[in-house]
Amino acid sequence: MFDIRQTDYRITDPGCAFSANPRANVTKEIFDAFRKQGFMIGAYFSKPDWHNENYWWPNFATPDRNVNYDIKKYPERWQKFVEFTHNQIMELMTGYGRVDILWLDGGWVRVKTDAEVHEAMLGARYATRPQSQDINMPELVRKAREKQPGLIVVDRAVEGPYQNYLTPENQIPGKLLPYPWESCIIMGGGWSYSFNARYRSAHELIHMLADIVAKGGNLLLNIAPSPEGTWDDEAYARLKDIGAWMKVNNEAIYNSRPLAPYREGKMGYTQWKDGTAYALYLADANEKTLPTQIRLSAITPARNATVTLLGTKEDLKWEKRGNEVFVLIPESLQKNPPCEHAWVIKISALGSEISTGMAVSGQQVPAGK
């Protein structure tokens, strides 16, 4: 998918029909297009290469996804594969502009101790011939960061210094994780294109985003293009729905950080560095109008805080009842919510304790006044 110099097995090779297209270097075109929109650039690279004869040698069968020969018997062949891998990645690091993330897949291509190899032999699930597959990550990362200072590296599913953040696949952790992480989730079908794919609903995707961000993670949402390079109409519709929701509520997502207790029932919590807090009410699928009040059992507005609903300008009243706060939603907003699927209460500042009372236009007054 890029104009690699190491092999003719590339999209820009004259033997490939698409090579005649002026935008045949797909990776460069995608990087440039996303960079113009202000996105960071992440280069996905799969460490195993089933087309390369130094990984899958035609002399042997290919019973699984691993290298199909004994590396200890043929170290020169493996070394050629290591050099091939390094050279490819260095092309990506030098010929495609600023790259922010090197995202390496194929976690089974890694160093294994003799004990790990033995354990894998006893209960092998993916490897017929378990063995250490050392591609010299220290040297690779050193060279890559010389060309791309500050490069984030994700040696996916390989514990150690080159797994700069974790990548739960098609799942969301049940709690806050004490390290950077990103859920990699399929919108519909598979990682590659699936005919007649069934897509997750906009409701599910928006709730998924809110849940992940409340727990301190990022969402990597996969949409697989067709052979023609397009997406299904349903995929575009989902992105439009997410975009409409984000247009109203993006400040609760971007630049935010977790706020304890993170998730609680139908509520998710985020905050900004300046102390602004956001309570995300995740509506039920059939819930089309706002409730008369939203209960906040975990956080309390400061005495002079302004409380609003994102997408509206009206200051909301709130009441403290025992240890809980109830944000009151006027009838005009109940029937005319600013978005669908989830609504966000914005609180300008949090307090540790307040006396029983009510805030009107950001000012707390004694109850009953």
Instruction: Write the CATH number for 309.
Output: 2.60.40.1180
Angle between helices 137-147 and 75-94 (to 10 degrees): 20
Q: Are residues 264 and 154 in the same domain?
A: no
Q: Write out pLDDT tens, residues 241-275.
A: 999 999 999 999 999 999 999 999 999 999 999 99
Domain count, the chain: 2
In the chain, the percentage of residues whose pLDDT exceeds 90 is 87
Task: Please state the rounded mean pLDDT for residues 282-292.
Answer: 96
Does 183 reside within a domain? Answer: no
Q: Is pLDDT of 4 > 60?
A: yes
Q: Are residues 157 and 265 in the same domain?
A: no
Q: Is pLDDT of 361 > 70?
A: no
Task: Please state the rounded mean pLDDT for residues 302-326.
Answer: 94
Does 213 reside within a domain? Answer: no
- Please, which pLDDT band fits residue 117 given cuts at 50, 70 and 90? confident
Q: 273 exposed, middle or buried (CB, 10 Å; 0-12, 13-18, 19+)? A: exposed
Domain ends where: 163, 184, 206? 163
Do residues 198 and 238 touch, judged by C-beta distance below 8 A? no
Domain ends where: 163, 198, 228? 163
E strand residue ranges, the chain: 42-46, 101-105, 152-155, 182-186, 218-222, 257-264, 267-271, 277-282, 293-296, 307-309, 318-321, 324-328, 342-347, 357-360, 363-366
Q: Is pLDDT of 364 > 50?
A: no
- Tokens representing 251 are 């400040």
CA–CA gap between residue 234 and residue 120 (Å, rounded): 42
Q: Say which range, 3-17, 121-135, 148-162, 336-350, has the weakest mean pLDDT.
A: 121-135
Q: Is pLDDT of 52 > 50?
A: yes
Identity of residue 238: R
Does 173 reside within a domain? Answer: no
Do residues 179 and 215 touch, judged by C-beta distance below 8 A? no
Does 327 reside within a domain? Answer: yes
User: In this predicted structure, what is the pLDDT of residue 357?
Assistant: 33
User: In this predicted structure, what is the pLDDT of residue 46?
Assistant: 96
Most trustworthy range by pLDDT among 125-129, 269-273, 350-354: 269-273
- Domain of residue 129 covers 40-163
